[in-house]
Amino acid sequence: MIVSKSFRWSDPRSITAMAAALVLGLSAQVRGDEGVLDTLQVHGFLSQALIISEDNDFFGPSSEDEGSFKFTEIGANASLRPHQDVLLAAQVLSRRAGGDGDDARPVLDYGVIDYQMLSDQQRTFGIQVGRFKNPFGFYNQTRDVAFTRPSILLPQSIYFDRTRSLGLSGDGVSLYHEERLSNGVLRTQVGVGQAQAGDDLRRTLRLENVPGSLDPKQSAIGQVRYEHDGGRIVAALSAAQAKARFDSNTPQQSDITFRFRPVVLSLQYNEELWSLTGEFAMRPTKLRGVDNPWLNDVTGESWYIQYTRRFLDDWQWLVRYDSLTSNRDDRSGKGLEEFTGGRVPAHSQFADDITVGLQWTPHPRVMLAGEYHHVDGTGWLPVQDNPDPSETSRRWNMLLFQLSLRF
């Protein structure tokens, strides 16, 4: 293999490019090897939602006319084992969530070379190189596959959709370990690399119209997870540090550095027909280069509690309370509202969401879902759909319907 002189092993984007190239290249090389081809797996999924809301918009003009169809997820993934200790895996994702459709272009969701250095009946130890999904909370690694979610929308206080790129995946190296104990399984994963910093982060920082570049910096993430008694009790602790820097091209705006250090505690209890899940997060954020004491160094707080009930083999209902506080020192948001002279309303700094949902799976490859949200606050409303926060309503309702397919 010839490597270009411009390739740098220290650049996580180069590592991702190499991983993707190896996945595709090795897949092509082994087509004549029937033994290896027996390990080839290809899967895909498609989800389309209708969103209807009042007053505020979510993923498109949901408060207008008959709602918004601008929430679409399409993905395809493949995996292959050229050797018993080596797994090549990649997924391409096209996701539209409001906006003008530019976000729907296909992107590499993950692409890794996974090498298991040790694997026996007691433990497994391995390494992944490339673009890996961040082990964050219970749902982050599979959050875009509707069949793995308990609801159409995950709890927005923990799994932000308006700044999802920052916590979704990393380009670099990830180590994982699994220890099989007498009464459970202990899993550990640690990753170091470069976080993603997409247009969603730029919009949230209100920099979409400011000339300059927003670049992610070296970041890290880790999770310890324990599953007891075959998964009856599941507990996890996740911690991360994500950094980004905005280099301004105009004297009116200074350079900005952004650092995010969330810690999430996750607990779940499972019985045959029901599950009780809760997660709690502390979200320290430091922002330098912005003259606003209410944004420079704040700690947010997030938590939810969720009950799901399975019935009639292929039905499930859910009820959840989800709470977001952007700044623990300004829970009501009135301090920021006074500082900005009312341009940023107090209700933009929190959100309390009561959710009721229903899922029906008439076939293993087909799922229909619907859910209702009653929300007090706009703390997780997408900025692109609500560019002027002063025009949003504090209390609002939302209905979502979704059809999901997989193969």
With respect to residue 21, please indicate whether it lies within any of the assigned structural domains.
Answer: no
Which tokens sit at 299?
A: 């700690």
With respect to residue 3, please indicate whether it lies within any of the assigned structural domains.
Answer: no
Q: What confidence score (pLDDT) does residue 12 get? A: 46
b/e code 128-155 from CB counts within 10 Å (16+ = b): bbbbbbbbbbbbbbebbbbbebbbbbbb
With respect to residue 11, please indicate whether it lies within any of the assigned structural domains.
Answer: no
Q: What confidence score (pLDDT) does residue 7 get? A: 33
pLDDT, average across residues 175-194: 95
Pick from 36-40, 109-113, 114-118, 268-272: least confident: 36-40
Mapped onto helix, strand or coil, the DSSP state of residue 144 is: coil
**CATH number assigned to the domain comprising residue 385:** 2.40.160.10
Residue holding tokens 């993905």?
75
With respect to residue 227, please indicate whether it lies within any of the assigned structural domains.
Answer: yes
What is the domain count for the chain? Answer: 1
- Tell whether the torsion through CA atoms of 348, 374, 385 and 134 is positive or negative: positive
Q: 81 has which bridge partners?
A: none
pLDDT in tens, 191-235: 998 877 666 676 666 666 667 777 777 889 999 999 999 999 999
Structural domain including 372 reads 40-406
With respect to residue 310, please indicate whether it lies within any of the assigned structural domains.
Answer: yes
With respect to residue 17, please indicate whether it lies within any of the assigned structural domains.
Answer: no
Taking 90 as the threshold, does the pLDDT of residue 280 lie above it? yes
What are the helix (H) ranges across 99-221? 164-168, 199-204
With respect to residue 180, please indicate whether it lies within any of the assigned structural domains.
Answer: yes
Residue with more model confidence, 19 or 338: 338
pLDDT in tens, 292-315: 676 678 899 999 999 999 999 999
With respect to residue 2, please indicate whether it lies within any of the assigned structural domains.
Answer: no
User: Confidence band (pLDDT; 50, 70, 90) for 168?
Assistant: confident
Spatial neighbors of 262 by CB under 8 A, at least 6 apart, are 136, 167, 238, 239, 240, 281, 282, 283, 284
User: Confidence band (pLDDT; 50, 70, 90) for 170?
Assistant: confident
